[in-house]
Amino acid sequence: MGGNAKIEWDEKKKRRVKHSFKDRTARFFTSKFDADGRQVGELWKKLMDAENDTDRVRRKRKEAVWEAYEALAPYLRDQKYSAATGSDPAKYKQVVHAFLKAFVAAYGETHVTHYMHIIHAHGDYFIQKYGSLARWNTQ
């Protein structure tokens, strides 16, 4: 098992796959561009539209999570941080804190993952030592 999704052998691909999110990698959710080079932008809106959630308060909280994630994504993607690309190193802690605050408001503390803990508690160390977090996103 891998997280909440079962990892299975795919005979066609001749490798193990995790079928969550239609076998997409992390790069799909952090990239500025899709596989054809088109700009992605605001993927969270597409994900929110896919949900059948009619509770306005809950939906607003989830939208806040995705807006905060959009601000966090450059820190997960960029090899070199700069204000021009949205990954200003001086704002890292503030951006991570905003994301976690929005996430906890929408889903509660019990759903915070160890990955979220790592980017909050240890992200600064990795940024100082290696220059960015992109090195660790396995892409």
The predicted pLDDT at position 76 comes to: 86
The predicted pLDDT at position 121 comes to: 94
Q: What is the 3-state secondary structure (H, E, C) of 85-114?
A: HCCCHHHHHHHHHHHHHHHHHHHCHHHCCH
H helix or E strand, kind and range, residue 9: strand 7-10
The predicted pLDDT at position 82 comes to: 83
Q: Extract the residue ranges of the chain whose pLDDT is less than 70.
A: 1-7, 17-52, 137-139
Token couple for 129: 């030592």
CA 119/CA 104 separation, integer angstroms? 15
The predicted pLDDT at position 94 comes to: 95
Q: What is the pTM of this model?
A: 0.66
